[in-house]
Structure 1
Amino acid sequence: MFIISITDQIGYEHSGELFNLGLYKNKLNDPLDKYRRLRITREFLKVKAIDYVLDFRFRKSAVKEYFVKKLLYRNFKPVYMVRSANLNYYFPKSTSATRLLFKNDPICVLTDQMKELVEQRYGLEHIHIIPNSISVATYQKVKTKKFDNPYIVTAGRLYDHKQFDELIKAYAESELPGKQIDLRILGQGPQLKRLQKQVEKLQLKNRVHFEGFVKKPETYFAGALFFAFCSKFEGFPRVLLESLACGTPVVSTDCPTGPAELLDGSNGILVPHHDFEAFKNALNQLAGDTDLLNQYRENAQASIARYDHQEVNKLWKAFIEGMQ
């Protein structure tokens, strides 16, 4: 397996051989430089005798995608990956251009709902569903992060669409601060200062903790009462998989897409999308009902067995064999 990174920003551990295309990018990033990098990438694919390319790029420009198909993927087999319910990340704005560009290509999405969104908006047909996966067994040995007070946890990049501000507001209005149950937020991003000011204004600096980037977030997940999540949109949030794999229940809004596939009523509480009153009530309910919390804990790991690496690898195997 080979990984091609378009930018020189390698932030996570990886397996396979890495080809850092970002090292070939000049400061101007002009059309000639982009063309040069296309040729470099094409030569890499030829030399390594790549059979299939899983394309995770954002693909917003129809013109750029036309040249990528003509100059890079000629005689190669791309599989276009869609990892978010926000389809504007992965397809050009023009539906007709999208249909022309991708009508004959395999497209891989994460959920049934994402498949429906792509079909309805663009009329594309060759769509395959392969969800994110996780090694459930490895999370059974996670060491628990402990603090003086019990806490709930959330995690993600601190961007607007993650709606951490709404989560903080719901937490502030809930019974949790009065019960000395803290909120711990894992992640970093451009919204950090604004969120810190919000917490200060709510006089919750002793209750809400910004932990920054955490290399092993599962240690926090395992020690939490439950995981809280209220994003505007997702794809198939891995943090929910990781939390449930740790045996930690989840409270989430039903954003498109992912939470509805993971929360089946046995492992947490799913409330309507953007219904923050219901979200607050769910926080109160789970924090105040030890029996329900323990019941969800007992069911958490078993509820995601179908997303274990071994099970999802079968889907990948069938997918690849079907392309041959």
Structure 2
Amino acid sequence: MERICIVTTSLGAGGAERFSASLSIILSALNYDVHILSTKNLIEYEFKGTLFNLEEKLKGDRSNYKKLKILKRYFQDHAFDVIIDNRPRSQFFKEFVLYNYVFKAKRIISIVHSYYLLNYLPESIFLAKLLYRKNFKLIAVSKEIQSAIISKYGFNNCTQIYNPVDIEDITNKSNKKIKIKDNYILFYGRIDDAVKNFELLFQAYKKSILIGRGIKLYMIGDGKDTFKVKKTVKDLQIEDSVKFISFLKNPFPYVKNAKFCTLTSRYEGFPMVLIESLACGTPVISVNCKSGPQEVIQHKFNGLLVENYNPNVLSEAFNLFVENESLYTQCKINATGSVNQFSIKKISKDWKNLLN
């Protein structure tokens, strides 16, 4: 039985982290011996396999020497066949040390989760090729990311595999009863304004007819910009119509009961919130950012895909879903079936083929 280690920042509070948990379940079902190395002590998502919690092992010691010593021993002791690196990798020297002196495996697979490639690859083509060599495989989570990597770096070892969605599991979780009296639209995810561009969301919401129709905006999530975002809401004088809810391990009952979910990011990788929303039977309205939305949304079939950075166009899309009942109903009917291509069954086959 091949032994695989998934290296992740954590198992909570993010789409890439949720992917790590999902991948552990997929690979366990394929009869691999799965281990997970989490660098942070944040474990919220369901997973399968043996967990190694680095932050817990460090017991408060923040020295890089201690960290490297523990990691090196861990990889030496386990002799993994495959390491799947799911972390951001923006510091070349740190990654060079990890990949050449710490990570020990026959093969290393490095996943790129963002169209902002500098989060995962050095700007320098020379350094990128020095880091990702012959025994490495790059996985892009969208076709646009794969194209960008090949175009900039000329890598021929870059494969595209989508993030999976467990439709049955999400459906079951979404059926949990919650008490909600409001009619609302929903954003859920990390509160990181540099990526999510909440100013665009709030401007479009204020310009739309939604507030006048009593349709609120729910915001589910936590992050470093929570205070800043709440101040923006207050400055725009829409605080009575915007409700903030802290991170939920199971947001899907809220997703299911939303009129629609929305995404206004400057950039993404492959936004799981769109797939998860559709899996719940809830249509989506998203800006056409790089990358992912145009590979998920079929305009006016399962949602609306609009120009980015334009609050007027976005507010018109909000209005359209409220005023055009037949269009909205059709998108809602098509929602769940439109994400079958991202199902656990389909993505499991892609990973099995890759690992074989």
Which one of 283, 286, 299 corresponds to residue 249 of structure 1? 283
Matched residue, 1:13? 46
User: Retained in 2: the 8 A contact 1:60–1:93?
Assistant: no
> Is residue 173 of structure 2 the alignment partner of residue 138 of structure 1?
no
Cα deviation digits, residues 135-166 of structure 1 (max 9, x gap): 22334443264532311111111111111222
How many angstroms does 1:278 deviate by?
Answer: 1.2
User: Retained in 1: the 8 A contact 2:200–2:309?
Assistant: no
Matched residue, 2:326? 291
Bigger mean CA offset, 194-203 vs 212-221: 194-203
Where do 1:1-324 residues align within 5 Å? 1-25=34-58, 29-46=62-79, 50-104=80-134, 105-141=136-172, 142-143=174-175, 145=178, 147-160=180-193, 161-265=195-299, 266-321=301-356
How many angstroms does 1:9 deviate by?
Answer: 2.8
User: Retained in 2: the 8 A contact 1:132–1:236?
Assistant: yes
How many angstroms does 1:186 deviate by?
Answer: 0.6
Structure-1-length-normalised TM-score: 0.92
Letter matched to residue 300 of structure 1? A
Letter matched to residue 255 of structure 2? F
Cα deviation digits, residues 67-96 of structure 1 (max 9, x gap): 222212345311011111111111123221
Determine the C-alpha separation between the residues in 1 that align with 2:77 and 2:198: 41
Determine the C-alpha separation between the residues in 2 that align with 1:93 and 1:30: 28
Structure-2-length-normalised TM-score: 0.84
Letter matched to residue 136 of structure 1? I
How many angstroms does 1:297 deviate by?
Answer: 0.6
User: Retained in 2: the 8 A contact 1:38–1:71?
Assistant: no
How many angstroms does 1:212 deviate by?
Answer: 1.2
Bigger mean CA offset, 28-37 vs 119-128: 28-37
Long gaps (5+) in structure 1: none
Determine the C-alpha separation between the residues in 1 that align with 2:255 and 2:64: 45
Long gaps (5+) in structure 2: 1-33
Cα deviation digits, residues 10-69 of structure 1 (max 9, x gap): 2433221101122333756444224313322323432xxx22110112222322222222
SS of 1:131's equivalent in the other structure is: coil
Corresponding pairs, count: 318
Q: Using a 3 Å threshold, how does the CA distance of structure 1 residues 280 and 243 change in structure 2: closer, same or farther? A: same
Determine the C-alpha separation between the residues in 2 that align with 1:109 and 1:293: 32
Determine the C-alpha separation between the residues in 2 that align with 1:194 and 1:153: 19
Letter matched to residue 149 of structure 1? D
Determine the C-alpha separation between the residues in 2 that align with 1:222 and 1:284: 20
Bigger mean CA offset, 170-179 vs 142-151: 142-151
User: Retained in 2: the 8 A contact 1:103–1:125?
Assistant: no
SS of 2:212's equivalent in the other structure is: helix
Bigger mean CA offset, 276-285 vs 4-13: 4-13
User: Retained in 1: the 8 A contact 2:167–2:343?
Assistant: yes
Determine the C-alpha separation between the residues in 1 that align with 2:197 and 2:54: 33
Q: Using a 3 Å threshold, how does the CA distance of structure 1 residues 30 and 92 change in structure 2: closer, same or farther? A: farther
Determine the C-alpha separation between the residues in 1 that align with 2:171 and 2:121: 39
Determine the C-alpha separation between the residues in 1 that align with 2:233 and 2:206: 9
RMSD: 1.8
Determine the C-alpha separation between the residues in 1 that align with 2:292 and 2:277: 14
Letter matched to residue 231 of structure 1? S
Bigger mean CA offset, 207-216 vs 70-79: 70-79
Letter matched to residue 40 of structure 2? T
Determine the C-alpha separation between the residues in 2 that align with 1:18 and 1:170: 43
SS of 1:269's equivalent in the other structure is: strand
SS of 1:178's equivalent in the other structure is: coil
Determine the C-alpha separation between the residues in 2 that align with 1:67 and 1:204: 49
